Amino acid sequence: MRAFEERNAAKCAETAALIWESMKRMSFSHIDVKQLAVRLLHVLEMLAGRNAEEGADLYKDVAYVNAAMSHESLLAQVQQTIQEHIRRKQEEKVSYTDHPEVNRVIQYMLEHYRENMKVTDLAKLVAINVDYLSTIFGKKTGLTPIAYLRNIRIEQAKRLLLYSKLSVEEIASQTGFADDAYFIKTFKRMTGQTPSSFRRDNNK
């Protein structure tokens, strides 16, 4: 998922190939591989943030998967879908607000939310005063930069809770939280549930 979010097509293709090779060694049935392929396609749609109209492409991709006659053709379909999603993401010109510096900060947060960052770092990124950044960011988004970053991290954590088997501790680390205790406390404050209960209630 990290390679996909970073739009690294080569790394995504390599990772998919490794997964397929592992399933081949473990003698996964063709049906099991198809089920995994469909699940991967759903995760890709979610990560790509596709709208309802664009989401119609998912049904085409799933149809191709269901028609595939071999592990190799399934892998090829998944890799092709990954490349198409990344191509579209690279062509997108996202405008979060009408302020270019705020947009740059938001884009940076989305790409580097796993890393430790301070408002001073963000201000340096766009070469403006810290106080001015905080003020204009609040006016344009309704949140402080740190609160906005926290929201991004929690949304990413939700995705990992729903679509991965990572532990709560691993998810905390992968979403930029200093430790799992702080992650659990923040997650519960923002969602009303602990990470574990969120995963359990939404995976029924």
- Give tens-digit pLDDT for 137-154: 999 999 999 999 999 999
- Give tens-digit pLDDT for 96-110: 888 999 999 998 998
Q: Would you give the DSSP letter of residue 113?
A: T
User: Higher pLDDT residue, 118 or 90?
Assistant: 118
pTM of the predicted model, to two decimals?
Answer: 0.62
- Give tens-digit pLDDT for 22-63: 877 888 887 887 777 777 777 766 665 554 444 445 555 666
What is the overall mean pLDDT for the chain? 81
Show Cβ contacts of residue 17 under 8 Å, excluding neighbours closer than 6 positions: 75, 79
Please tell me the distance from the alpha carbon of residue 107 to that of residue 118, in angstroms, as a whole number.
15
Q: Would you give the DSSP letter of residue 68?
A: -
The domains found in the chain, sorted by start residue, are 2-91 (no CATH), 94-204 (1.10.10.60)
Measure the CA dihedral 67/60/84/45, to 10°. Answer: -110
Q: Is pLDDT of 119 > 50?
A: yes
Number of H helices, E strands in the chain: 12, 0
Cβ-in-10-Å burial (0-12, 13-18, 19+) of 84 comes to middle
**Joined tokens for residue 104:** 């740059």
CA 85 vs CA 36, 74, 107, 124: distances in Å: 18, 17, 18, 32
